[in-house]
């Protein structure tokens, strides 16, 4: 590595360290540590929200899936902007902010618990975060570590260890202020790198329209011949195996949607588009961002910034992921992206390090590190506060320094847990995108009816909220363990108990758990609430 690269890396780490220290200096109390003092600038808030939302799971994981399944993933970009930014900021943001202030809530589970005057809801929410968020965190860690290891030609496990230690430092020290300061910096780096990536890629392929024309040729030359090959002749998880699988799922090219209601259509629409696109509304680490600004005006000003940022990040990487097939075919001995890189998770790191100038690969290294660090810092901060604020304080009724110590200890413990999962799951095909979709769908099925109902429906009761969360958890878990084609097969519980990979058969097993569990969770919330009586005192505190 050259002297200039060393200087840039040291400078970057120094800036991140300074921002973490700045957050530490400005953190005077619990509100500062948990909610950045509730006075965050809208630009910082929007970039922090976007940088937390868009991680290496989106860039490396879903970018690789776009190389596999094509531009059908652009439906997720639409949902990310319309649901994740417009609906979230315009309709949910200000009610969340106002209720959070009235109730003195500092975390997402605490907001739900105080809205319904239920210690159980707060503790249950905190425990669910501790159980499921490490899965998402491991996906982000895997994505960032793959690029770091590829760029520096270093050992994956060593890269993972160093990466995790750096993140741990500034999350523990700076709280949410430090996290949001670094998020804003990292968001700017991500945005610039993604725009440059689009310019370089399209220029090398002769423009957008010509690039998409080339995709049809590449499909006919590298994928269509697999129609004559049996799946039994292919190595499971290999590039040709994955492309043959996409054909069996109804895909006919990288520039079009799969056949309507085919397995591929159900996977793209229900798991990727709806699972992630709706699941973003109930992400604990994102909802908290609404409680960090001073007024509704700040939220409104943040909408345009957030929308442009999300479009630049997801729209560009999904297009580039698909177009990487054309680039690899033209410049890498007639192979498509998966054949060149070796797997879904390796496509984007390999493409950047092969197709782009060395100096740009170096810049993109920081974009990916920024994407990973911004998301991971928020995840670990959320998990730490779940340990300290939502579980420890509620069960043991202790606040102050002891709670803060538990929170910071919780950050370390959850980082270790996520790192262990990153070691265990790294070799699973498309694990980054799968883990992300699972976590987002679980959050929507468990939290979303209680969250939205608590904000807008005064008739919703504590009993309805608890029943909704429990039913969402039970139905989601059942569907993932016993029905959904991928998770049920890999977990093997149905196979061990009943001798089959899934309890159901046919296309229904490609329907995501969210599509089944969320309607059940909503229905249970409404019915149980109508059969029980709301707490008038809780309503008075929440809405007056």
Lowest mean pLDDT among 43-47, 413-417, 485-489: 43-47
For residue 283, the enclosing domain spans: 3-441
Q: Which residue has the tokens 């860690």?
A: 141
Phi, psi of 460 (to 5 degrees): -70, 135
For residue 399 the two structure tokens come to 């606040």
Query: pLDDT digit string (tens) for 185-214?
Result: 777 787 888 898 999 999 999 998 999 999
Q: 502 in helix, strand or coil?
A: coil
- Going by the DSSP 8-state scheme, the letter that residue 345 receives in this structure is G
For residue 334 the two structure tokens come to 């007639």
For residue 188 the two structure tokens come to 């700017």
- Going by the DSSP 8-state scheme, the letter that residue 258 receives in this structure is P
CA angle 154/155/161 to nearest 5° reads: 105
Lowest mean pLDDT among 29-38, 97-106, 170-179, 470-479: 29-38
Task: Establish if 479 belongs to a structural domain.
Answer: no
Q: How far apart are CA 437 and CA 75, in angstroms?
A: 14
Mean pLDDT (whole number) for 93-120: 90
CA angle 192/196/198 to nearest 5° reads: 120
Phi, psi of 280 (to 5 degrees): -60, -25
* C-beta of residue 292 within 8 angstroms of C-beta of residue 62: no
- Reference 344, options 153, 59, 61, 144; nearest CA is 61
- Reference 434, options 386, 491, 478; nearest CA is 491
Query: What CATH number is attached to the domain comprising 87?
Result: 1.20.1730.10
Q: Which residue has the higher pLDDT, 101 or 476?
A: 476
Task: Establish if 160 belongs to a structural domain.
Answer: yes
* C-beta of residue 272 within 8 angstroms of C-beta of residue 155: no
Q: Which residue has the higher pLDDT, 94 or 39?
A: 94
Query: pLDDT digit string (tens) for 208-217?
Result: 899 999 999 9
Length of the chain: 544
- Reference 459, options 525, 524, 522, 517; nearest CA is 525
Lowest mean pLDDT among 100-114, 146-160, 461-475: 146-160
Count: domains in the chain: 1
Query: pLDDT digit string (tens) for 414-454?
Result: 878 888 888 777 666 666 777 888 888 899 999 999 999 99
Predicted TM-score of the model (pTM): 0.85
Task: Establish if 152 belongs to a structural domain.
Answer: yes
Question: What residues contact residue 285 under an 8 Å CB cut-off, 6+ apart?
Answer: 52, 378, 379, 381, 382
* C-beta of residue 16 within 8 angstroms of C-beta of residue 182: yes
Q: Give whole-number Cα distances, 291 to 22, 46, 371, in Å.
A: 20, 12, 22
Q: How far apart are CA 516 and CA 99, in angstroms?
A: 30
Task: Establish if 311 belongs to a structural domain.
Answer: yes
Q: How far apart are CA 122 and CA 254, in angstroms?
A: 44
Query: pLDDT digit string (tens) for 272-311?
Result: 999 888 988 998 878 887 777 666 776 777 778 778 888 8
Q: How far apart are CA 272 and CA 72, in angstroms?
A: 10
């Amino acid at each position: 590595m050259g002297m200039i690269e060393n200087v840039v890396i040291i400078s970057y780490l120094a800036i991140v360290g300074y921002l973490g220290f700045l957050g530490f200096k400005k953190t005077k109390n619990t509100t500062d540590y948990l909610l950045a003092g509730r006075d965050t600038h809208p630009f910082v808030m929007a970039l922090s929200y976007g940088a937390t939302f868009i991680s290496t799971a989106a860039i490396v994981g879903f970018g690789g899936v776009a190389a596999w399944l094509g531009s059908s993933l652009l439906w997720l970009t639409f949902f990310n902007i319309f649901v994740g930014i417009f609906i979230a900021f315009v309709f949910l943001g200000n009610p969340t902010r106002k209720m959070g202030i009235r109730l003195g809530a500092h975390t997402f589970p605490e907001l739900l618990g105080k809205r319904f005057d239920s210690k159980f809801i707060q503790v249950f929410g905190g425990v669910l975060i501790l159980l499921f968020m490490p899965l998402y965190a491991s996906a982000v860690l895997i994505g960032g570590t793959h690029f770091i290891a590829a760029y520096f030609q270093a050992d994956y496990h060593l890269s993972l260890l160093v990466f995790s230690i750096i993140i741990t430092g500034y999350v523990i020290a700076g709280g949410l202020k430090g996290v949001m300061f670094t998020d804003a910096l990292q968001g700017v780096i991500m945005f610039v790198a993604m725009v440059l990536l689009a310019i370089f890629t399209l220029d090398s392929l002769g423009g957008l329209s010509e690039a998409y024309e080339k995709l049809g040729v590449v499909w006919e030359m590298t994928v269509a011949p697999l129609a004559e090959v049996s799946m039994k002749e292919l190595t499971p998880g290999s590039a040709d195996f994955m492309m043959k699988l996409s054909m069996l799922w109804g895909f006919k090219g990288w520039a079009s949607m799969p056949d309507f209601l085919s397995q591929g259509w159900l996977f793209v629409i229900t798991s990727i588009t709806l699972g992630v696109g709706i699941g973003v509304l109930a992400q604990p680490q994102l909802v908290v961002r609404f409680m960090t600004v001073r007024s509704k005006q700040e939220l409104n000003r943040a909408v345009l910034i957030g929308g442009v940022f999300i479009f630049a990040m997801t729209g560009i990487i999904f297009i580039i992921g698909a177009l990487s097939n054309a680039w690899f075919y033209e410049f890498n001995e007639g192979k498509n992206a998966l054949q060149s890189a070796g797997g879904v998770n390796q496509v984007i790191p390999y493409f950047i390090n092969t197709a782009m100038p060395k100096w740009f690969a170096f810049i993109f290294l920081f974009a990916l590190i920024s994407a990973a660090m911004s998301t991971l810092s928020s995840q670990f901060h959320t998990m730490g506060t779940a340990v300290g604020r939502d579980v420890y304080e509620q069960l043991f009724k202790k606040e102050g320094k002891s709670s803060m110590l538990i929170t910071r200890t919780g950050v370390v413990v959850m980082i270790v847990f996520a790192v262990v999962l990153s070691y265990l799951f790294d070799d699973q095909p498309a694990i980054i995108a799968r883990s992300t979709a699972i976590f987002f769908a679980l959050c929507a099925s468990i939290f979303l009816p209680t969250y939205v109902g608590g904000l807008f429906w005064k008739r919703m009761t504590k009993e309805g909220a608890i029943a909704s969360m429990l039913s969402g958890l039970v139905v989601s878990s059942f569907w993932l363990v016993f029905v959904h084609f991928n998770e049920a097969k890999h977990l093997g519980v149905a196979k061990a108990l009943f001798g089959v990979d899934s309890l159901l058969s046919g296309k229904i097993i490609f329907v995501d758990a969210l599509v089944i569990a969320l309607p059940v969770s909503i229905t249970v919330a409404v019915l149980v609430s109508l059969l029980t009586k709301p707490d008038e005192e809780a309503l008075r505190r929440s809405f007056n």
